[in-house]
Amino acid sequence: MQLFEGILVMLSMVLISNIMSRFFPNIATPLIQVVLGFGIALLSFVHSFELESELFMLVFLAPLLFNEGQMVDKKALWKEKKAVLTLSILLVFITVGILGYVIHLLVPLAPWAACFALSAALAPTDAVAVGALAEKVKIPHRMLHTLEGESLINDASGLVSFQFASAALLTGVFSLVDAEVSFVLISLGGVLIGVVSGLLGLWFIRWMKSLGIENNVSYILFELLLPFIVFLMAETLGVNGILAVVSAGLIYSWNYKKINPEVAQLNILSKSTWSIYSFSLNGLVFVLLGTQLPDLAHYVWKTNQINNWTILGYVLIVTTVLLGIRFLCVLVCNNFDGFKGKHDIKKSLLYTVSGVRGTITLVSALSLPTVLSTGDIFIERELLISIAAGVIIVTLLLANFAMPLLADKKEESIETNTEIEVQILRRVTEQLKRKQTEQNTSAIRKVIQLYNERIVSLVNHDEFSEKNKELMELVLVWQLKDTLELVESGEVSLQMVFRRLEVLDRRLFRLTHKPEYSKNSFYKNIIGTHLKFLGTRLTSFDRKKELKIKLKESNRNYVIRMLNQLDTTEFPPELIDFYLTRYEDRDQTVIDMSEDTLDEWLDYAIQLERDYIQKEFEKGKMNRQELTIYRENLSAIESSIQFIA
């Protein structure tokens, strides 16, 4: 029960972090999540969670990296293969060698193997952190693809290096030749297992479809289970599970290459599911990281073996060397742009600070053994773990505050041209109105209402709200006017409608606060203008009921008539339609619509919209990117027609 409660608390922190990021846009969400994790660890039992490396990689890294493998741009990844391999393999090994030596200089009592193990844990960047921080700034496409590819692969090289260093720490034996051969075999084996598993997954889906099993929920459940199966299979066979799940994700994404309605629906469902799943796991990763910090902080501040400021100095030195190696590598490679131009220092710095360290570093450090090969207790273990945690925090802070200075600010994405989209939607509603008959009135009115809601979500809300207020005032004035005309014609008595007039006037005053609708003005107008109609009439109960129905019907028809006469250039047509629908629906004679009829007119409207989109594109009013986004949005709406009623 305690475990379940802890998970609920951490998931709540993930949700809170997403809300807080809206109030603190300059602070990256992972940093907020780390702080929240630190806070709940101080205030509750959550700090009792222990991050076991194998369990962490299975539960968190396997599905996250599988999804990254599905989503990554394959063509761009292949195009940047030299840069990716340089950063994810060559740079990792260079970092392990140099940084291990530096760490041993700082902590000479620590065994060499432990220093190289820590440097191996610090070498790989964090895919989750890179993606989260990249959302805040505008990173060049080529650089972003390189960073994504690096973070997908360098976990494997870093973990293999860490495993060999840890083994040397436990056994006291290390062979460079054996390590190199094992690295190649383990990596190739992981890729092979991933490719085969991905192909088998595709075959399984197609086999299910050939049996007539068209159940998207089953397909998505299989997709969620696949990374766990692949990772466990790879680890059981002794190959790299990280590369296996990444490779499986790359292959499995072929499932969505084929274009047809069934695949489109499955693709939308898959993206929606993975977006929620990956968001939750991403957040939990950093909240969990935060929960580990109090114990480490306790060691740092309470230990008598070393000064606190000295530990902080170690963290800053290790971070400087770590990022310095990365900076020199990128600068020497001329930012992977070839040798056509000058070395771009600013771009090299952006590459450097983007190399954020995350939970894979902390999990690896926490898995350092507590007993050495000699049988002695590994006294420096907590110190090395504290250094790792400090480097993670410093790189996160540095990336959060330095990346906006080195990169352009990310512009708010405008998915489509709003004005053109509103015009298209209005043209669809106009066509629907022309098709309206007595038999299909209800169905078409429902479809128009759905389109009007879409238009309202796109237009300027302040302007729309003001126009809505004006039209609401007109509607109330029309009801007031029609009621007084009925009084003057003698169809109803002033005595009978006095209460209704008073209510209408009160609503007008609350809406506009105009003095002509105040209580004093109302009584003055009624008594001064319509006093002659004030008389006592003996009316039966049934007759009063009949007259009230007549009054409401007269008001309704009058409002509808006046709405139809309004100039659409003065008021948004969808706003007029909203009030028309509101008053026309009060007509009890409207024919009920069937679901089939509604679906038919929805299909017709969406086809009209699709045709108008194509025409706007052909006229040059919409670029290809806007066309693609618009079509994707329309496909999502079309696939959800079954949920609209």
Q: Supply 214's token pair.
A: 């068209």
**Mean pLDDT value across residues 428-454:** 80
Contact 381, 599 (CB under 8 A): no
Torsion of CA 476, 480, 486, 492, to 10 degrees: 100
For residues 244 and 233, what is the distance between their CA atoms, to the nearest angstrom?
9
Q: What percent of the chain has pLDDT over 70?
A: 79
More confident residue, 76 or 280: 280
For Cα atoms 325, 330, 335, give the angle at the middle one, nearest 5 degrees: 170
Q: Exposure of 83 by Cβ count < 10 A (0-12 exposed, 13-18 middle, 19+ buried)?
A: buried
Q: What percent of the chain has pLDDT over 90?
A: 6
Place of tokens 């126009």: 467
CA distance readout (Å), 174 to 113, 210, 288, 613: 9, 53, 33, 65
For residues 121 and 114, what is the distance between their CA atoms, to the nearest angstrom?
10
CA dihedral sign, ordered 425, 431, 434, 437: negative
pLDDT of 81 above 90: no
Which region holds residue 513: left if phi is over 0, alpha if psi is between -120 and 50, else beta? left
Q: What is the pLDDT of residues 617-637, one digit of tens each?
A: 777 777 777 777 777 777 666
Q: Which of 500, 604, 605, 634 is nearest to 554 (CA)?
A: 500
pLDDT of 47 above 60: no
Residue 248: how many CA atoms within 13 Å on its side-chain side? 34
Q: Which of 57-61, 181-185, 212-216, 397-401 has the highest mean pLDDT?
A: 397-401
pLDDT of 322 above 90: yes
More confident residue, 244 or 596: 244
CA dihedral sign, ordered 498, 500, 501, 507: positive
pLDDT bucket at 258, cuts 50 / 70 / 90? low
114: amino acid identity, one letter: A
Residue 496: how many CA atoms within 13 Å on its side-chain side? 23
For Cα atoms 544, 547, 550, give the angle at the middle one, nearest 5 degrees: 155
For residues 251 and 230, what is the distance between their CA atoms, to the nearest angstrom?
12
pLDDT of 93 above 80: yes
**Mean pLDDT value across residues 216-221:** 82
Judged by average pLDDT, the poorest of 212-216, 301-305, 390-394 is: 301-305
Q: What is the pLDDT of residues 404-429, one digit of tens each?
A: 888 766 554 444 567 788 888 888 88
pLDDT of 432 above 70: yes
Write out the H or E segment, with its range, that includes residue 138.
strand 137-138
- The residue length of the chain stands at 645
pLDDT of 320 above 90: yes
pLDDT of 141 above 60: yes
Q: What is the pLDDT of residue 231?
A: 92
More confident residue, 123 or 54: 123
Judged by average pLDDT, the poorest of 172-176, 288-292, 367-371, 410-414 is: 410-414
Q: What is the pLDDT of residue 66?
A: 86
Q: Supply 136's token pair.
A: 């805040």
Q: Supply 198's token pair.
A: 């991905």
Runs of H (alpha helix) within 565-594: 573-584
Average pLDDT for the chain: 77
pLDDT of 50 above 70: no
Q: Three-state DSSP class for 64? A: helix
Q: What is the pLDDT of residue 595?
A: 47
Write out the H or E segment, with its range, that includes residue 180.
helix 176-210
Rg, Å, the chain Cα set? 34
Contact 576, 471 (CB under 8 A): yes
Pairing verdict, β 137-138 and 408-409: antiparallel
More confident residue, 326 or 339: 326
Q: What is the pLDDT of residue 499?
A: 78
Q: What is the pLDDT of residues 472-524, one digit of tens each?
A: 888 888 888 888 888 777 777 777 777 777 788 888 777 777 877 776 676 66
Contact 391, 356 (CB under 8 A): no
Q: What is the pLDDT of residue 302?
A: 67
pTM tops 0.75? no
For residues 107 and 93, what is the distance between their CA atoms, to the nearest angstrom?
21
pLDDT of 644 above 50: no
Q: What is the pLDDT of residues 152-204, one digit of tens each?
A: 788 777 777 787 787 777 776 656 666 667 777 888 888 899 999 999 988 88
CA distance readout (Å), 424 to 417, 427, 452, 630: 11, 5, 12, 11
Q: What is the pLDDT of residues 545-575, one digit of tens each?
A: 777 888 888 888 888 888 888 876 777 777 7
